[in-house]
Amino acid sequence: MRRLTRPPLPARTSAFLARCQSRADTLQEQGTLDIEREWRNARQRKALTGVLDALRNMSGPHWRCMYCTDSHGCDIEHFRPKKPYPTHAFHWLNLLLCCTTCNRKKGDQFPTLNGAPLLIDPTVDDPWEHLDFEPESGLIKARYDAQSDQRSPKGLETVRLLALDRREVTIGHSKTFRRLKRTVERALDAGGSAPALIAELLEEDDHGLLPWCFGEIGRTVEPFSDLRLQQPDTWMACEAAFR
């Protein structure tokens, strides 16, 4: 999962969402709200393409799913599902881009603990605070916290709900990891400037793995550990760029 920054929406799109939400809230008060129908109707309006465009821009050049970072993100996803949370249905902060598989697996589920979401929102959370990557298998799993001696509850629920340990996600992450390793190995052999290496790594990082590779655990894994020892200045520049 890749950490994402959410930009503000264009004023027209924002106003359209506000009108849709206000109408849904009124219907809710009257007891006649069919949120699926409201969403379907809004989805057919040209104004909603502004939301899709903004989400695609956020997700990067390949429009990848914001949950699995592996498949094509094809539709607007409600982080808080619209049926149990109709008051969030048209809130920009509640909308993500998601693939059909993640959408189907999540459905109307939204696990919480004391009212707080137990699902990673890549626009709010740093995913690698809750997730870990296994270089040998490409597996995404919940991060272990030595202090509390347990795996991150948010990481556990996110992996379970979206089945982030499913085969295709694992293969995709493995391929990206191998590319990142080769890029660092080439830099170790040939040298070169830190900005050039950073640009090359960003180009190769389809799955948002760089913060992991240059973080607490990845720094102990070859060839990232070699870069840290042999080219400390380059390492520090990368670490700062991918934090």
Binding stretches for Zn ion (CB under 5 A): 65, 67-68, 71, 99, 102
Query: Where are the alpha helices (H) located in the chain, listed in sequence order?
Result: 11-30, 35-43, 49-59, 100-106, 153-162, 167-190, 194-204, 210-213, 224-230, 232-242
Of 73 and 218, which CB lies nearer to Zn ion in the complex structure?
73
Half-sphere exposure of 230 (CA within 13 A, CB side): 14
Instruction: State in angstroms the smallest separation of the CB of 81 from Zn ion.
Output: 16
Residues 6+ apart with CB under 8 A from 133: 139, 140, 173, 177, 209, 212, 217, 218
**Separation CA 163–CA 18 (nearest Å):** 33
The CA-atom distances, in angstroms, between 185 and each of 180, 181, 188, 207, 223 are 9, 6, 5, 19, 6
Of 71 and 174, which CB lies nearer to Zn ion in the complex structure?
71
Instruction: Please say whether the beta carbons of 131 and 158 come within 8 A.
Output: yes
Residue 93 is given by DSSP the state: G
Instruction: State in angstroms the smallest separation of the CB of 70 from Zn ion.
Output: 6
Instruction: State in angstroms the smallest separation of the CB of 112 from Zn ion.
Output: 21
Dmax over Cα atoms in the chain, in whole Å?
Answer: 69
Instruction: State in angstroms the smallest separation of the CB of 101 from Zn ion.
Output: 6
Of 154 and 228, which CB lies nearer to Zn ion in the complex structure?
154
Instruction: State in angstroms the smallest separation of the CB of 14 from Zn ion.
Output: 26
Instruction: State in angstroms the smallest separation of the CB of 71 from Zn ion.
Output: 5
Of 74 and 237, which CB lies nearer to Zn ion in the complex structure?
74
Residues 6+ apart with CB under 8 A from 144: 132, 150, 151, 152
Of 2 and 82, which CB lies nearer to Zn ion in the complex structure?
2
Of 101 and 152, which CB lies nearer to Zn ion in the complex structure?
101
Instruction: State in angstroms the smallest separation of the CB of 133 from Zn ion.
Output: 16
Of 33 and 55, which CB lies nearer to Zn ion in the complex structure?
55
The CA-atom distances, in angstroms, between 165 and each of 2, 129, 189 are 16, 17, 34
**Separation CA 55–CA 49 (nearest Å):** 10
